[in-house]
Structure 1
Amino acid sequence: MHKVTLGSQGLTVSAQGLGCMGMSQSYGPADDTTSIATLHRAIELGVTLLDTADIYGATGIYGFGANEKLLGYALDGRRDEVQIATKCGIQDINPEQSSKFTLGAAPAYVKQACEASLKRLRTDHIDLYYLHRVDPATPIEDTIGAMAELVAEGKVRYLGVSETTAEQLERAHAVHPISAIQSEYSLWTRGIEDEVLPAARRLGIGIVPFSPLGRGFLTGSLGADATFGKGDFRASNPRFRAENADANQSLVEVIREVAAAHEVLPGQVALAWVHSRGDDIVPIPGTKRSTYLEQNAAAAELKLTGDDLARLATLADAVSGARY
């Protein structure tokens, strides 16, 4: 895996990262043994940007902070081989409706959250610390100001924000340089292209797409009749409801045809498209399995043709169902 610079402050990471949330929640039962093996395999492949958050695990059986604890255990003795990204700002999630967050990003809370994350991760610094969601009760300037103090104290190396508007991104960056913005971005979710992506590029901020495989739908492995077990939030996601999933299969068919021409998998085409959007884009596909990790990592080197990109360009226009 080749390296890239994320943002303008010098953060060097792998061109593709690994989203770790699904190891602890949202996508079925956790399997720590499998997840740890996948984390170790990621390092072997040069996938060194590992993305977690303090809230990951809150909807699973292990609870708040479980995913950070998992990484802390898995990275024992290997901390210097990776870049850890974690987040604060979501204090709780309703397990029955994951879009219902309890937000909190007051300066004092941010300081406490960082100390707790450092302890769970078994490290003395966080490479990339994100504001997970903007707290409407706290001006973003106050939150970023507290995070900037963590940088000054050496507890955090670089700052990021997640799912902000372009205007919020500007305000945050005015307080302290922001190295990355994390937002959902894929062949079927392209909303950031209107305002957020141009603003990030004008400010020299890297883009970290989460769910670049459409929560697995764009891999072609989920038919319209797919069912999801307990603990899998896709069971209530609008795009996976039967009527929408059936309509969305037309997107997957196009991806399959492009994949067949390259003799690769549909998911690799979907990821290659995200990579094609620019060297300032570092997607973080999530998985708990080494096999999928290896497939995803290979997609970082897949080059799509101009004709491929033209065919894929309009898929988002045909998506059925809201993303949440």
Structure 2
Amino acid sequence: MAAVSTTTVRRIKLGSQGLEVSAQGLGCMGMSAFYGPPKPEPDMIALIHHAVGSGVTFLDTSDIYGPHTNEILLGKALKGGVRQKVELATKFGAVFGDGKREVRGDPAYVRAACEASLKRLEVDCIDLYYQHRVDTRVPIEVTIGELKKLVEEGKIKYIGMSEASASTIRRAHAVHPITAVQLEWSLWSRDVEAEIIPTCRELGIGIVAYSPLGRGFFSVGSKLVENFSKDDFRQYLPRLQPENLAHNAKLFDRVNEIAQRKGCTPSQLALAWVHHQGDHVCPIPGTTKIENFNQNIGALSVKFTPEEMAELESIASADNVKGDRYDSSVPTWENSDTPPLSSWKPA
């Protein structure tokens, strides 16, 4: 096993309900799904143990990763006393099957999904349970109402949301306090800064930033596309298409220039920018390699002057990036509003 990094991983309070996590988490999706074929299980368990030993104890998964296989992997990795050392987050609501994608937030599904995740993870309680995507057919109050019952029953400790609009977050928070909102936030995904980030700050909700390295783009730039396997979904992302990639590569070049000046890697610089957004923000970069993990936690040691932050802000403005985050078929916060509670007629 690789040596444990000497970087100290500080602890932060995520949200205002009492959850404390490592200031940087570990996204586990790529170990099992979406970024190519599943990686060898023993290697991934060793990586998870290395992360926990290094102080990165906030682990992020979902029932859709695999589907199911990533939760099973984490269940195995958490045996032998590891569970007591981690903050475990998983998600429900995104359903793949019969060649179609669906989002579900009806109470019966919420409960069944939670019970299934508890079994796969082999735990009695999930620390942070996110609604992965918002079911726009079900009033958000109904979905959160069922999650509130799961909190009261001790099956989950804290409630989270992912890819939810500001108005949806407000409605949810009125039913039960939301501890964290997970969203894509990085040097090339800044649209959430207009409404969603201020809403979370106002309500005392923590922010978990997924894909803080631009799905690997801020590690190697346009070279990223050269190594995609046939089942790596990133090959379909608009920003990585040829008509956009050449333009976006200029952003990476500027980031790389600043990183060289600061004596760090471009990925450390991109991660450090997220860390500098405040102590209520936790990025969860994913990796499948211990050496990349060690490099990522090195970002915690990178500090910026106000002038350096201003320089980064200027080169990473929204109009400097070409292409959307996803294609139009993927639900995001932009289309997450739900019907009013008064319209709900339980089955």
TM-score exceeds 0.5: yes
CA distance in 2, matches of 1:196, 1:142: 21
Relative to structure 1, the CA distance from residue 55 to residue 313 in structure 2 (aligned partners, 3 Å threshold; closer, same or farther) is same
Residue 321 (structure 2) aligns with: 319
After the TM superposition, which segments of 4 or more aligned residues of structure 1 sit over 4 Å from their partners? none
Residue 138 (structure 1) aligns with: 138
Equivalent of 1:44 in 53, 56, 62:
53
Relative to structure 1, the CA distance from residue 94 to residue 163 in structure 2 (aligned partners, 3 Å threshold; closer, same or farther) is farther
Relative to structure 1, the CA distance from residue 87 to residue 259 in structure 2 (aligned partners, 3 Å threshold; closer, same or farther) is same
Instruction: Judge conservation of contact 1:28–1:230 (CA < 8 Å) in 2.
Output: yes
CA distance in 2, matches of 1:186, 1:229: 24
Residue aligned with 2:108, SS? helix
Cα drift, residue 307 of structure 1: 2.4
Deviations along 1:80-132, whole A, 9 cap, x unmatched?
0101000111121787xxxx731111011111100000000010000000011
Structure 1 residue runs without a partner (length 5+): 58-63
Instruction: Judge conservation of contact 2:216–2:224 (CA < 8 Å) in 1.
Output: no
Match runs of 1:226-265 below 5 Å: 226-265=226-265
Residue 35 (structure 1) aligns with: 44
CA distance in 2, matches of 1:20, 1:246: 29
Residue 55 (structure 1) aligns with: 64
Q: Which amino acid aligns with 1:163?
A: E
Relative to structure 1, the CA distance from residue 280 to residue 232 in structure 2 (aligned partners, 3 Å threshold; closer, same or farther) is same
Residue aligned with 1:54, SS? coil
Residue 30 (structure 2) aligns with: 22
Q: Which amino acid aligns with 1:319?
A: V
Match runs of 1:81-230 below 5 Å: 81-92=85-96, 101-223=101-223, 226-230=226-230
Instruction: Judge conservation of contact 1:224–1:246 (CA < 8 Å) in 2.
Output: no
Residue 68 (structure 2) aligns with: 65
Cα drift, residue 186 of structure 1: 0.3
Instruction: Judge conservation of contact 1:161–1:181 (CA < 8 Å) in 2.
Output: yes
Relative to structure 1, the CA distance from residue 222 to residue 203 in structure 2 (aligned partners, 3 Å threshold; closer, same or farther) is same
Q: Give me the TM-score of the superposition, normalised by structure 1.
A: 0.94
Residue 13 (structure 2) aligns with: 5
Q: Give me the TM-score of the superposition, normalised by structure 2.
A: 0.88
Structure 2 residue runs without a partner (length 5+): 1-8, 327-347
Residue 74 (structure 1) aligns with: 77
Residue 6 (structure 2) aligns with: none
Q: Which amino acid aligns with 1:187?
A: L
Relative to structure 1, the CA distance from residue 176 to residue 266 in structure 2 (aligned partners, 3 Å threshold; closer, same or farther) is same
Cα drift, residue 301 of structure 1: 2.4
Cα drift, residue 225 of structure 1: 6.1
Instruction: Judge conservation of contact 1:162–1:181 (CA < 8 Å) in 2.
Output: yes
CA distance in 1, matches of 2:112, 2:274: 35
CA distance in 1, matches of 2:225, 2:233: 16
CA distance in 2, matches of 1:240, 1:248: 8
Instruction: Judge conservation of contact 2:89–2:130 (CA < 8 Å) in 1.
Output: yes
Instruction: Judge conservation of contact 1:133–1:164 (CA < 8 Å) in 2.
Output: yes
Cα drift, residue 221 of structure 1: 4.8
Cα drift, residue 40 of structure 1: 0.7
Deviations along 1:135-177, whole A, 9 cap, x unmatched?
0111110000000100000110001000000000000000000
Identical residues among aligned pairs (%): 51
Residue aligned with 2:226, SS? coil
Instruction: Judge conservation of contact 1:105–1:135 (CA < 8 Å) in 2.
Output: yes
Instruction: Judge conservation of contact 1:223–1:245 (CA < 8 Å) in 2.
Output: no
Instruction: Judge conservation of contact 1:225–1:242 (CA < 8 Å) in 2.
Output: no
Match runs of 1:299-314 below 5 Å: 299-314=299-314
Q: Which amino acid aligns with 1:69?
A: I
CA distance in 2, matches of 1:227, 1:3: 35
Cα drift, residue 244 of structure 1: 1.1
Instruction: Judge conservation of contact 1:218–1:270 (CA < 8 Å) in 2.
Output: yes
Residue aligned with 2:249, SS? helix
CA distance in 1, matches of 2:224, 2:83: 41
Instruction: Judge conservation of contact 2:222–2:246 (CA < 8 Å) in 1.
Output: no
CA distance in 1, matches of 2:278, 2:183: 15
Q: Which amino acid aligns with 1:36?
A: I
CA distance in 2, matches of 1:157, 1:240: 38
Instruction: Judge conservation of contact 1:23–1:35 (CA < 8 Å) in 2.
Output: yes
Residue aligned with 2:283, SS? coil
CA distance in 2, matches of 1:191, 1:229: 29
Cα drift, residue 242 of structure 1: 1.6
Q: Which amino acid aligns with 2:94?
A: I
CA RMSD of aligned residues (A): 1.4
CA distance in 2, matches of 1:65, 1:128: 17
